[in-house]
Structure 1
């Protein structure tokens, strides 16, 4: 943690957590988010996915389909800490939304289904977080379901994701009888009463679970001692670890990525969310705890620390069009920006003026006067910046590394059914690509058709439906086509063909020996395309 900042600045930044909720589709990400908002007092009614009343799944398509499609940012307060939270999609077609979100996050909560364990997209988002070096804690959800098994889910995390899972809770009850957890650090029971309020009551560990809780506490201590040098010293000297040492070691291991704290609960029944929030505050890093962001200026690499007094630098990670205008979502890495100030879009070399700064609550917004280092906000007034752009103070330009964008893999032809709508369709598609960089639009040179490309059929369905609903266009869509390329994977030598044709006259004869190899492996042949070399002597 930086200590050269003003004490008040240090205290404010240390109380900020920028985190995302990651998981496979239907693991319960949005329900976890809704329970966090309800518990922190941000909302006064628990939203339900199946009722279409969630805060973060506010888009009509998300409510119709019952899945998260667009990453949604919300802010809430818990125990004196500001939590900026992004609920990310779980479907593979929207992995680019997850990629852009992870680029600006300091930590994450990975949600797993207690019955299914690690699912395919769980593995994908975990690898994405690995690439960005985002510290995580794990929450095994849906322990109230038939077949739920915490140990089996943890074992799948260990086998498929290869972290060191550090389980800090023991469930009280199984399946429909799941009522609470034993906190293995403080050796206490947390039981939820049930009913509409579902309040949490703290008490002693049930007699029937004391022996099992002590055994698991010992397993946790041994696992932590193997990974943390200071914990190992205390464990060797005392043969045990104090709760204070254990908590400090868990925090260090989480932030370095050497271990993953595992909690459990049932978000739908509102059980396990309070301990999850406590773990977010205790173990995940603040903007001060992560390395300073790196960028380039005039070809030289520079660092910008999370200092509100430093030169302003922010990364655009999302753009959307709403009834209030064009919203540009920023992660502020350094400095402070206020309403009415001019900022530089470094990539376009264009100066923009910020007219409003909004604290985002999904589709609702609260206007603020300024944004400082560590904040995730939306701004109005930036007209041209796209996702991945760097906004900074004009006197100190810096280019931050943008999120990577995957190449589209599926394409469909789209056309306006009425000739009078052609211009409107072109405008709608341009706006669509501006908001979602993983989409691409081109005109087929052979057919003259407008082709929309994306990450999958669902991705394209959502995009086309958005054009229909937002712009009132009647759009025709062709059959999806997969974009793929074939090339030589490995060399093959000695393919022989003998051609003999004798039907009068001189006749024909040929003896062909063909060798193939990847072009990159052929010395002096460049780095792509096709080359033919005759070796006839």
Structure 2
């Protein structure tokens, strides 16, 4: 007999949950994917089936309401997610804290900060396109923070959808151990249900919005495929789980409970990732994926979270693990700032202890103690005030002066701990910006300050030569969005200059320096000699830093002058000698020097260092580095030759090609400077059918024939022409 039941959270609550500690019943998850893979559509269904909302709206809906999690007017207009949004719901007696993240590479910091505080994730893969460029980025981010995840192959209702091809792309391009826990019933437009390979039951999603889930026996024509894929699931688990392997080799039956326990254990240990399937837009499969969140992703106490305990004299630190014990001192991590109709909100993840309204918290960065007057749970842009939180919770607090990435601890400065930091990528593009009217100046400065506090990848600098304000970010769209927000939120019209690429300078060879700065003009003179060497600093791909080392033996240079040398070095790397762009990945080693009893000073040693740096830099095999983007282009098959020729003209190197039905997909590494105007070119030769996406990959040396052009442009700007 068929069973039909409505997937509302109170109908799917196991009786044992009432006796469980609250942190065992929390799941902190994020939904991440390549742009336009259906993240916000998936999140909208999660909210609906969890009883959090009572009507489904689409990203580009006919009713103009827009999806719940895309509440900014800009998001509704453009049909993309710009900033991450938090909400919460109940599912099977568990509290699920959900963060919907952007897919566009320009807003990657929103994904970064969300994954920094989450215990698990749902990685969406397009059933047609498979793994795409931003999927690779999200995968790296999840791996960086050791986030266990389930995988949901979406859009199986689309023409050309192939879940098995998508699954193979996961294995090939992400190098993950995965296996399907479901198979689809039907294909493309005929897709209408799923077979659960663990329970060996079929599920159909009925009702107006797929809310009525009908459980039946597996249709006969799908039984053979289901058995084959279940066998594949067991073999994959057996390769990493000795208990499953023993049962399999001894041909003993493997129960549903054994399979689920193995998947949960290996998922949380990052050894295995279960693959779910469905179509969020067609309201199929989302409820079963939510079951997977509860069944396989960790509770807060099951995920290790580390920080550093600092001695009261600030001289020592040791690594510690935070515990979910509510009796321990409160530790929270401020991971996102947002200003909305309620004022400034600070989103905080609680790692340890508990906090009540009216308690005091101490900011480890600002060294300020502040009272927590108001606390809230957020549902997109709607606020629900609360009185207390415990470890594992994500909440928002009002009136706390802090920046993104600050650690908040209980009460006073006696408990000195720091949460580990998040990774912040380097900006790759810059624009000059200025208000169109002088009377906008105060509001303009306020807007710049606000956006910098919100977004660590949004940088503001003043060009000393031209006195222009330069904003830098992750791409053209990123910066244009902030300009548009100025118009809407601060009523400021601004003028944007042409985009410029953020080049970097570096060296390729070790080079000694022995530089004497001597100046006598009557009265006190200047005397400083610095001896040492500069060499390349080897770091991982995409990472930048500079390093000063003091190897001075004895007292040839007093300590205060060594401090001046260090300051002179770090001021020198702000603007490189060749192009004025920052210098990166240089180690400056000071080995000795000379002083004069009367004429030596800190200023003299700073000046000597700057001259020594400029001179030595030009002798150490200097290079200019340019940002290189990983580009994926999808065009109709007849247009593939134009696509290949176009990339070659833009100094691109092809890394992969493949056919996907009647479409041709090209992956290439292309310098960012060569990608301006490509959207227009692509639309032209594909009659509007082509599309592309790009993300930052690394900085590479600029070809010799391009270097002179960049240097000449810098010299022209310096002359003010």
Within-5 A mapping of 1:318-397 = 318-382=336-400, 384-393=401-410, 394=412, 395-397=414-416
Is the Cα–Cα contact under 8 Å of residues 292 and 306 in structure 1 kept in the other structure?
A: no
Whole-Å separation in 2 of the counterparts to 1:205 and 1:336: 47
Kindly provide the CA deviation profile for residues 50-82 of structure 1, in whole angstroms up to 9, marking residues without a partner as x: 124211110111111101110101100000000
What displacement does 1:332 show? 0.3
Q: The residue matched to 2:304 in structure 1 has which SS?
A: coil
Is the Cα–Cα contact under 8 Å of residues 295 and 399 in structure 1 kept in the other structure?
A: yes
* Alignment counterpart, residue 31 of structure 2, candidates 21, 29, 40: 21
Is the Cα–Cα contact under 8 Å of residues 93 and 459 in structure 1 kept in the other structure?
A: yes
Structure 2: 5+ residue runs without aligned partners?
1-16, 511-533, 539-548, 552-568, 570-585, 589-612, 621-721
Partner of 1:309: 327
Flag the structure with more relative contact order, 1 or 2, with Cα contacts below 8 A and sequence separation at least 6.
Answer: 1
CA-atom RMSD, angstroms?
2.2
Is the Cα–Cα contact under 8 Å of residues 304 and 321 in structure 2 kept in the other structure?
A: no
Partner of 1:421: 440
Structure 1: 5+ residue runs without aligned partners?
1-6, 492-516
Q: The residue matched to 2:28 in structure 1 has which SS?
A: strand
* Alignment counterpart, residue 300 of structure 1, candidates 305, 317, 339: 317
Within-5 A mapping of 1:517-528 = 519-520=536-537, 527=587
Whole-Å separation in 1 of the counterparts to 2:219 and 2:309: 57
Within-5 A mapping of 1:428-443 = 428-443=447-462
Q: The residue matched to 1:68 in structure 2 has which SS?
A: coil
Within-5 A mapping of 1:197-236 = 198-236=211-249
Whole-Å separation in 1 of the counterparts to 2:233 and 2:420: 38
Whole-Å separation in 1 of the counterparts to 2:505 and 2:433: 26
Whole-Å separation in 1 of the counterparts to 2:18 and 2:215: 34
* Alignment counterpart, residue 462 of structure 1, candidates 481, 487, 496: 481
What displacement does 1:294 show? 2.2
Is the Cα–Cα contact under 8 Å of residues 27 and 113 in structure 1 kept in the other structure?
A: yes
Q: The residue matched to 1:103 in structure 2 has which SS?
A: helix
What displacement does 1:296 show? 2.8
Kindly provide the CA deviation profile for residues 219-273 of structure 1, in whole angstroms up to 9, marking residues without a partner as x: 1111111111222222233444221111100001110110110000000011001
Kindly provide the CA deviation profile for residues 99-143 of structure 1, in whole angstroms up to 9, marking residues without a partner as x: 111110000000010000000001101011111100011000000
What displacement does 1:216 show? 1.0
Whole-Å separation in 2 of the counterparts to 1:145 and 1:309: 51
TM-score by length of 1: 0.90
1:115 aligned onto 2:128:
yes
Q: The residue matched to 1:262 in structure 2 has which SS?
A: strand
Over 3 Å counting, the alpha-carbon distance change for 1:198 and 1:368 in structure 2 is closer
TM-score by length of 2: 0.67
Is the Cα–Cα contact under 8 Å of residues 184 and 193 in structure 2 kept in the other structure?
A: yes
* Alignment counterpart, residue 261 of structure 1, candidates 266, 274, 277: 274
Kindly provide the CA deviation profile for residues 7-42 of structure 1, in whole angstroms up to 9, marking residues without a partner as x: 989621111000100100000000000000000000
Kindly provide the CA deviation profile for residues 309-353 of structure 1, in whole angstroms up to 9, marking residues without a partner as x: 210000000001111111000000011111121100011101121
Greater CA deviation, 271-280 or 231-240? 231-240
Whole-Å separation in 2 of the counterparts to 1:287 and 1:419: 51
Partner of 2:54: 44
Figure out how many residues of one structure are paired with residues of the other and give that number. 502
Whole-Å separation in 2 of the counterparts to 1:8 and 1:334: 22
Is the Cα–Cα contact under 8 Å of residues 293 and 305 in structure 1 kept in the other structure?
A: no
Partner of 1:129: 142
Is the Cα–Cα contact under 8 Å of residues 196 and 202 in structure 2 kept in the other structure?
A: yes
Whole-Å separation in 1 of the counterparts to 2:197 and 2:104: 34
Over 3 Å counting, the alpha-carbon distance change for 1:82 and 1:73 in structure 2 is same
What displacement does 1:168 show? 0.5
Partner of 1:484: 503
1:237 aligned onto 2:250:
yes
Whole-Å separation in 2 of the counterparts to 1:113 and 1:426: 42
What displacement does 1:487 show? 3.7
1:401 aligned onto 2:420:
yes
Kindly provide the CA deviation profile for residues 162-218 of structure 1, in whole angstroms up to 9, marking residues without a partner as x: 001121001000000000000000000001236445521000000101111111111
Q: The residue matched to 1:291 in structure 2 has which SS?
A: coil
Over 3 Å counting, the alpha-carbon distance change for 1:319 and 1:519 in structure 2 is closer
Whole-Å separation in 1 of the counterparts to 2:265 and 2:176: 15
Over 3 Å counting, the alpha-carbon distance change for 1:519 and 1:142 in structure 2 is closer
What displacement does 1:300 show? 2.3
What displacement does 1:46 show? 0.7
Partner of 1:412: 431
Whole-Å separation in 1 of the counterparts to 2:352 and 2:108: 27
Greater CA deviation, 45-54 or 384-393? 45-54
